[in-house]
């Protein structure tokens, strides 16, 4: 039989139309639909008496205005909205007992980093910068290093410059300056750089090395300042000398079989469509649950997107300190937007409603879906390094190229990126796996998408099946397989999140 609807969770009493369904059509479970149901909209699966709860993603979207019958179309007119709790009233720990899917494997082939919680998925010489001014010479040096040095060290995958637009012309002691500074500092610690540190500065910039390096690391082995060297040729020679020392060490590294507890994976979505929350995000969430179940660490992020679903993040947080931190991060972002004269949109847009999203909560739940059902073991500020394993909420902006570098700072070895409309986004320092929400996009962008979750909508596969496929791809990529964007050599710039003034 043709597949008409998909249910997000067992406890849901609605399902989502995979295509426009004509009134009178007989769908799964022997239900006959009582209205014309537009694609991506909700249809009732059971009787819900007036005042009864409507569940999607396992959460209450609203209460029935009138008695609802199986096959009814449920839209914003059918629902009385639940009161959204204030940030200071969030409840934690009330939804932390989800049964997680079994992982199909428990190890991967990674690069262990002595003293680090996480292992690398790549073996990269990262060259970090205190300021944009040095990037011109550095790029010339690295282009030449890739030709002349890298072939001598075949066990090193790449040399990557962490180029950014911060470091000078900034109010370095501004209230919010700690955010970009922490990000740049923690990127140096990403496990894909194997614990080797190489930082390049100019000499008169405001972001001095002590702001991004530990005191014991600031020495001539790890830090090089252009103004200490006699011109271009001398700078080039110094860069080559330092790089070669680091390459020699990195070249000794080998992949070994490691438990998945050594792996950290970032999850985000971008260019979302009405199906992202139906197919790809729930499948990514399933994969996340499998990883957590295997002892791994997964991070989800995107504060502005999940903001209206925050009670359903809070109720998965294990303890009060992390719940308080969640509230604080949300509140910080509320204030930041308000300071910029921006209002958080209070309702779904007409486009969202047409796409079947009846409430702002439902919209956020589509994004939150990629976090699966696991309890949240820790909430960290944007770019902080978690100290716990399991599911982490990393409170970053939602913008794709702002979120990615922040997750890099938080230690991810690779990223899973869910897309509806399609993006070729990738990071040079950590591979990005692309999962699309619709078969249309996979067909259109065959050579840019790794996994098609649109098969959930066509009925070819279940959420669990695609979830397992994503999990297997994560393990493969963590073990060295190149996702399409890495294979094509597509790399985006590092865009640092700087909410403080530029001077």
Burial annotation 137-166 (CB, 10 A radius, 16+ → b, else e) = bbeebbeebeeebbeebeebbbbbbbbbbb
Cα pseudo-dihedral 145, 143, 254, 476, rounded to 10: -170
Smaller CB distance to Ca ion: residue 403 or 448?
403
Pick one of Ca ion, a second copy, none as the site partner of residue 268 (Cβ within 5 to 8 A by kind). Answer: Ca ion
266 touches 404 (CB < 8 A)? yes
Report, in Å, the least distance between residue 420 CB and a second copy. Answer: 8
Cβ atoms within 10 Å of 316's Cβ, excluding its own: 24
Which of 66, 214, 241, 487 is the binder for Ca ion (CB under 5 A)? 214
Pick one of Ca ion, a second copy, none as the site partner of residue 118 (Cβ within 5 to 8 A by kind). Answer: none
Rounded to the nearest angstrom, the gap between the alpha carbon of residue 500 and the centroid of all alpha carbons in its chain is: 23
Cα separation values, 453 from 61, 297, 417, 438, 441, Å: 24, 22, 12, 6, 10
| Residue 383 structure tokens | 């770019």
Cα separation values, 229 from 149, 224, 226, 458, Å: 21, 9, 5, 62
With contacts defined by CB under 5 A, how many residues of the chain interact with Ca ion?
10
Report, in Å, the least distance between residue 164 CB and a second copy. Answer: 8
Pick one of a second copy, Ca ion, none as the site partner of residue 214 (Cβ within 5 to 8 A by kind). Answer: Ca ion
Q: Write the DSSP symbol of residue 231.
A: H
Pick one of a second copy, Ca ion, none as the site partner of residue 269 (Cβ within 5 to 8 A by kind). Answer: Ca ion
Binding mask 172-211 for Ca ion (x = CB under 5 A): ----------------------------------------
Contacts of 208 (CB under 8 A, 6+ apart): 130, 201
Report, in Å, the least distance between residue 305 CB and Ca ion. Answer: 5
Smaller CB distance to Ca ion: residue 214 or 241?
214
Report, in Å, the least distance between residue 492 CB and Ca ion. Answer: 12
- CA-CA distance, 256 to 430, in Å (whole number)? 18
Binding span for Ca ion by CB under 5 A among 49-57, 142-150, 280-288, 303-311: 303-311
Report, in Å, the least distance between residue 219 CB and Ca ion. Answer: 11
| Residue 257 structure tokens | 């079989």
- CA-CA distance, 357 to 301, in Å (whole number)? 21
Question: Could you give the count of Cα atoms lying within 13 Å of 212 in the half-sphere of its Cβ?
Answer: 32
Smaller CB distance to Ca ion: residue 276 or 455?
276
- CA-CA distance, 239 to 268, in Å (whole number)? 35
Binding span for Ca ion by CB under 5 A among 57-65, 141-149, 283-291, 300-308: 300-308
384 touches 298 (CB < 8 A)? no
Pick one of a second copy, Ca ion, none as the site partner of residue 341 (Cβ within 5 to 8 A by kind). Answer: a second copy
Report, in Å, the least distance between residue 33 CB and Ca ion. Answer: 31
Report, in Å, the least distance between residue 59 CB and Ca ion. Answer: 18
Smaller CB distance to a second copy: residue 79 or 200?
200
- CA-CA distance, 325 to 348, in Å (whole number)? 27
According to the binding rule CB under 5 A, does residue 400 interact with Ca ion?
Answer: yes
Report, in Å, the least distance between residue 284 CB and Ca ion. Answer: 11
State phi, psi for 10 to the nearest 5 degrees: -55, -40
- CA-CA distance, 301 to 283, in Å (whole number)? 17
42 touches 74 (CB < 8 A)? yes
Residues 268-287 that bind Ca ion (CB under 5 A): 268-270
Pick one of a second copy, Ca ion, none as the site partner of residue 94 (Cβ within 5 to 8 A by kind). Answer: none
- Which stretches of the chain bind a second copy, using CB under 8 A? 132-137, 139-140, 163, 165, 168-171, 173-176, 202-204, 226-227, 230-233, 270-271, 304, 336-337, 339-342, 397-403, 421-426, 444-448, 485, 488-493, 495-497, 499-503
Binding mask 305-324 for Ca ion (x = CB under 5 A): x-------------------
426 touches 486 (CB < 8 A)? yes
Report, in Å, the least distance between residue 205 CB and a second copy. Answer: 8
Report, in Å, the least distance between residue 257 CB and a second copy. Answer: 32
Interface residues toward Ca ion, by CB under 5 A: 214, 217, 268-270, 302, 305, 398, 400, 403
């Amino acid at each position: 039989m043709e597949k008409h609807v998909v249910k997000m969770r067992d406890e849901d009493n609605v399902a989502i139309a995979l295509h426009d369904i004509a009134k009178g059509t007989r769908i799964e479970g022997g239900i006959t639909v009582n209205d014309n149901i537009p694609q991506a909209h909700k249809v009732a699966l059971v009787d819900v008496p007036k005042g009864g709860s409507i569940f999607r993603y396992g959460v209450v979207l609203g209460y029935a205005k009138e008695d609802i019958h199986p096959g009814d179309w449920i839209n914003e007119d059918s629902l009385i909205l639940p009161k959204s709790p204030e940030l200071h009233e969030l409840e934690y720990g009330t939804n932390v007992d989800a049964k997680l899917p079994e992982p199909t494997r428990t190890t991967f082939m990674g690069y262990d980093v002595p003293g680090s919680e996480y292992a690398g998925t790549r073996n990269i010489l990262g060259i970090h910068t205190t300021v944009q001014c040095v990037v011109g010479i550095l790029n010339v040096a690295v282009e030449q290093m890739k030709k002349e040095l890298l072939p001598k060290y075949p066990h090193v995958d790449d040399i990557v410059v962490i180029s950014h637009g911060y470091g000078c012309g900034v109010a370095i002691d501004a209230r919010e300056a700690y955010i970009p500074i922490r990000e740049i500092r923690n990127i140096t610690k990403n496990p894909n750089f194997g614990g080797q540190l190489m930082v390049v500065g100019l000499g008169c910039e405001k972001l001095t090395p002590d702001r991004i390096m530990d005191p014991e690391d600031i020495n001539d082995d790890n830090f090089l300042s252009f103004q200490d060297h006699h011109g271009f040729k001398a700078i080039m020679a110094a860069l080559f000398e330092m790089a070669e020392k680091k390459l020699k060490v990195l070249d000794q590294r080998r992949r070994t079989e490691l438990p998945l507890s050594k792996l950290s994976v970032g999850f985000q979505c971008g260019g979302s469509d009405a199906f992202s929350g139906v197919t790809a995000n729930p499948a990514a969430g399933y994969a996340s649950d499998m990883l957590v179940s295997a002892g791994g660490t997964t991070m989800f992020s995107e504060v502005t997107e999940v903001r209206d679903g925050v009670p359903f993040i809070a109720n998965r947080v294990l303890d009060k300190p992390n719940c308080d931190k969640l509230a604080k991060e949300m509140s910080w972002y509320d204030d930041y937007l308000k300071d910029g004269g921006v209002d958080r949109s209070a309702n779904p847009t007409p486009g969202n409603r047409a796409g079947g999203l009846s409430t702002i909560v439902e919209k956020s739940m589509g994004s939150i879906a990629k976090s699966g059902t696991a309890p949240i073991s820790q909430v960290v500020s944007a770019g902080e390094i978690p100290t716990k394993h399991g599911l982490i909420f990393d409170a970053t902006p939602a913008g794709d190229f702002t979120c990615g570098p922040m997750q890099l700072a938080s230690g991810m070895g690779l990223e899973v990126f869910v897309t509806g409309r399609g993006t070729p986004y990738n990071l040079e320092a950590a591979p990005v796996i692309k999962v699309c929400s619709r078969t249309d996009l996979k067909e259109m962008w065959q050579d840019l998408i790794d996994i098609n979750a649109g098969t959930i909508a066509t009925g070819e596969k279940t959420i669990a099946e695609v979830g397992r496929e994503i999990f297997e791809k994560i393990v493969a990529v963590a073990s060295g397989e190149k996702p399409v964007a890495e294979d094509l050599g597509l790399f985006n710039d590092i865009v640092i999140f700087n909410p403080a003034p530029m001077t």
